[in-house]
């Protein structure tokens, strides 16, 4: 487990540079989750470290495989200085712990809900899990361990989350793209869904 996390941290640092801050959260019955903060010009990136220590298990399986199964870490990118986004550390750690706590598999296209604003005043309490490979490349592991995927998170307003449940992740992403939505704006409103 420690070896995997060391490799994951090295991949994050190679892609994003040195973190300027880090925080750790431990939930009862789970492994420790760290959240690293990286500043890149006017963008702040928050990356989890610890979610990939254990493979995500199918919640219907009678016994979780300690080696096989998808592994991932989460990355959230927002514009700096517009909101108190550092308060996202705990909600991000909650999302990263959800595979251990709730037995869910976090994959592209999924919605994750925290039940409260991601940071004070945020119009978002949920995120859409996007496709990996853009910002941080997958980390290949020795077989039978599956690669660690670095999954971008895209904050969704309540209306966007409801629309996504009906129309699907692809249509929501197309709507954002066609309207030129700045998904890094921590104060943005909902995209036009008419």
The predicted-structure confidence for 16-43, as pLDDT tens digits, reads as follows: 999 999 998 887 777 889 999 999 999 9
Give the single-character DSSP code of 191: P
Average pLDDT, the chain: 91
Average confidence (pLDDT) over 135-162: 93
Residues 4-19: tens digit of each pLDDT: 999 999 999 999 999 9
This prediction's pTM: 0.93
Cα–Cα distances (Å) from 182 to 37, 56, 73, 123, 131, in that order, read: 20, 31, 23, 14, 17
- Among all chains, which residue has been given the structure tokens 């449940």? 165
**For residue 96, which of 136, 167, 150 has the smallest C-alpha distance?**
150
Q: Which residues have CB under 8 Å from 185's CB, separation 6+?
A: 78, 79, 82
Above 80 in pLDDT, residue 163?
Answer: yes
Of 39-43, 65-69, 181-185, 190-194, the range with the lowest mean pLDDT is: 65-69
């Amino acid at each position: 487990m420690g070896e995997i996390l060391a490799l994951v941290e090295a991949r994050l640092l190679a892609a994003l540079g040195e973190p300027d801050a880090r925080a750790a959260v431990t939930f009862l019955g789970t492994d420790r989750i760290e959240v690293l903060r990286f500043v890149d010009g006017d963008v702040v990136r928050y990356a989890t470290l610890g979610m990939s220590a254990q493979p995500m298990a199918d919640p219907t399986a009678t016994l979780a495989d300690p080696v096989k199964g998808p592994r991932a870490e989460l990355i959230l990118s927002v514009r700096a200085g517009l909101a108190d986004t550092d308060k996202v550390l705990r909600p991000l750690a909650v999302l990263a712990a959800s595979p251990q706590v709730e037995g869910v598999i976090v994959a592209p296209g999924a919605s994750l809900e925290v039940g409260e604003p991601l940071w004070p005043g945020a119009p978002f309490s949920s995120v859409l899990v996007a496709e990996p490979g853009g910002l941080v490349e997958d980390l290949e592991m020795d077989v039978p361990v599956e690669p660690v995927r670095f999954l971008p998170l895209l904050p969704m307003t309540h209306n966007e989350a409801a629309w996504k449940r009906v129309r699907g992740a692809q249509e929501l992403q197309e709507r954002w793209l066609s309207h030129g939505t700045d998904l890094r704006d921590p104060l943005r409103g909902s995209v036009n869904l008419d």
